[in-house]
Structure 1
Amino acid sequence: MTSPWGGDRPFTAVVTGAGSGIGLALAAQLRERGAELVLADVDRAAVLGAAERLGATAVVADVADPEAVEQLAEQASGARFVCLNAGIVGPSVGAPWEVPAAEWDRVFAVNVAGVVNGLRAFVPRLLGAAEPAHVLVTASLAGMTVFPGGGAYGPSKHAVAAVVAHAAMALEGTPVGIGMICPALVATGMSPVGADPADVAREALRAVDDGVFAVVPPEWRAAVVDQLATVAAGGRPTPPAPAG
């Protein structure tokens, strides 16, 4: 797929969860590529601050609200690059039965429904424009392999990965591409340690340039495959570990 920022023509990019972390890093690097930015976040102060620094349009929106995302798409009607990045972890990180029902609902509402709401709002517009465009979804390594604990977060990201794969099949043969990044720990509001969000964003945009569908940390790829192969063969899953 041709990158939406190919050539000298300016393009509009939308980033959800843009107030901090990976979203803010994506926004900054898209600005360097010449994008006119529309930034969305549920945190008013954070998104207004990010927009002021980057010369962007700020939209306060909860991606779990379909109407709010529809309004975001209307406001960014000329967008050709959409980063569906917003996500939360949730306070509970134990076994499934230790996570309160309301927390399951909220994590899935933001992480999964937020992506579906974004696809529903933006993809028909992108297809209607009949121009090169791309959707980049922030998934997680926790959506590619299963770790012990993690509460509702890991299951929600598995659902996100399935939604993105389904969308990729549906968009085959169109000028609209889709892909996902599946980082391990990133130093954001979700984790005090991990990779630099700027490095994650840089690799994500490079993957779009190169036509890569999913970005999985190299040291974790064998663990992802091994766990899936074990389960497919009827075995019980064991906690994954990085190579080396």
Structure 2
Amino acid sequence: MTAETLTAVVTGAASGIGQALAEALHARGARLVLADVNADALSTTAARLGATGVVTDVSDPAAMHTLAAQAPQARLVCLNAGVVGPSLGAPWEVPPEEWDRVFAVNVSGVVNGLRAFVPQLLAARAPAHVLITASLAGLAVFPGGGAYGPSKHAVTAVAQHAAMALADTPVRVSMICPALVATGMSPEGIAPALVADDALRAVDNGVFAVVPAEWQAAVATQVDEIVSGRQPTPPAPWPAG
């Protein structure tokens, strides 16, 4: 995908991974259409990067269609917006309204993005890419975590479904599944810029999923526990070194 002619859309672009993706794409010379629900932060980021900013609630299907109408030439769509939610306990400890909000942003935000953008990407009959921000928590189940982990499991399923459905078209799908990232969601973790670099490398190389190497065995172990009928156990990364 040539950066000189690339128009890219990034949701959740005013902070965290989304902002890092926008910065990395700007450095490549891409034309940017950035979306976020935070109008002030979006305006600041868009002005700094010379981008078009569109205030967007990704949980609103109409808002996502409006965003798509602002970027008819988009060839890369980064569906990145997400929230954690304040409750990090067991499923029954999370209030109903929190389940609704987390799933509305994290899952419906991706589905609304696919519904808004994929038809126009297909209509263009040219190579294009959808990049979905999932999470390690969407591949491995951790104790607690509230609604976030289950929502990201749904996101990884949607990403796989979309990739299969688009297999015989010019539109490709990639998803990134980072562990802890130092964003507004977490004070700890790796720098968002590193995640953005890995994500765009996956787009460049046509890679479907990016999973941290130190967690890959843990993901496989949990799948093995399921298919063998064993009780699930908390995942752990490979030891450093």
TM-score tier, shorter chain, comes to over 0.9
CA–CA distance in 1 between the matches of 2:168 and 2:25?
26
Q: Give ranges in structure 1 of 5+ residues lacking alignment.
A: none
The TM-score normalised by the length of structure 1 is: 0.97
Q: Determine the C-alpha separation between the residues in 2 that align with 1:203 and 1:180.
A: 11
Distance 2:181 2:168 in 1: 33
Matched, 1:217 2:212: yes
Deviation at 1:209, TM superposition (A): 1.3
Q: TM-score, normalised by structure 2?
A: 0.98
Q: Which amino acid aligns with 1:20?
A: S
Counterpart of 1:5? 2
2:164 is aligned to 169
Q: Percent identity?
A: 69
Counterpart residue type for residue 18 of structure 1:
A
> Are residues 1:61 and 2:73 paired?
no
Give the aligned partner of residue 104 of structure 1: 99
* 1:128 aligns to 2:123 (yes or no): yes
Q: What per-residue deviation string (whole Å, max 9, x for no partner) do you get for residues 197-240 of structure 1?
A: 00000011011111110000000000000011011110111000
- Residue pairs, 1:1-244, within 5 angstroms: 4-5=1-2, 9-244=4-239
Deviation by residue 1:63-113 (Cα, 9 ceiling, x = unmatched) = 000000000000111100000000000000000000000000000000000
Q: For 1:102 and 1:5, how far apart are their aligned partners in 2? A: 43
Unmatched runs of 5 consecutive residues or more in structure 2:
none
Structure 1 CA distance for aligned equivalents of residues 237 and 48 of structure 2: 37
* Paired letter, 1:241: A
CA distance in 2, matches of 1:232, 1:35: 44
Per-residue deviation, residues 126-152 of structure 1 (Å, max 9, x unmatched) = 000001100000000000010000000
How many residue pairs are counted as aligned between the two chains? 239
Q: Give me the whole-angstrom Cα distance separating, in 1, the residues matched to 2:178 and 2:212.
A: 6
> How far apart, in 2, do the equivalents of 1:88 and 1:17 lie?
10
The secondary structure found in structure 2 opposite 1:79 is coil
Structure 2 residue identity aligned to 1:78:
Q
Conserved 8 A contact 1:5-1:33: no
Query: Does structure 2 retain, via aligned residues, the 8 Å contact 1:25–1:197?
Result: yes
SS in 2 for 1:25: helix
Structure 1's consecutive aligned runs of 4 or more residues displaced over 4 angstroms after TM superposition are none
**Aligned AA (2:2):** W
Q: Distance in 2 between matches of 1:34 and 1:53?
A: 14
Matched residue of 2:20: which SS? Answer: helix
Q: Distance in 1 between matches of 2:202 and 2:132?
A: 12
Please report how far the alpha carbon of residue 243 of structure 1 lies from its aligned counterpart in structure 2 after TM superposition: 0.4
Q: What one-letter code is carried by the residue in structure 2 that aligns with 1:238?
A: T
2: CA distance between counterparts of 1:205 and 1:216? 14
Instruction: Give the superposition deviation at 1:32.
Output: 1.3
C-alpha displacement of 1:5: 2.3
TM-fit CA distance, 1:43 = 0.4
Secondary structure of the corresponding residue to residue 241 of structure 1:
coil
User: Deviation string for 1:173-194 (max 9, x for gaps)?
Assistant: 1110001000000000000010
Q: Secondary structure at the match of 2:67?
A: helix
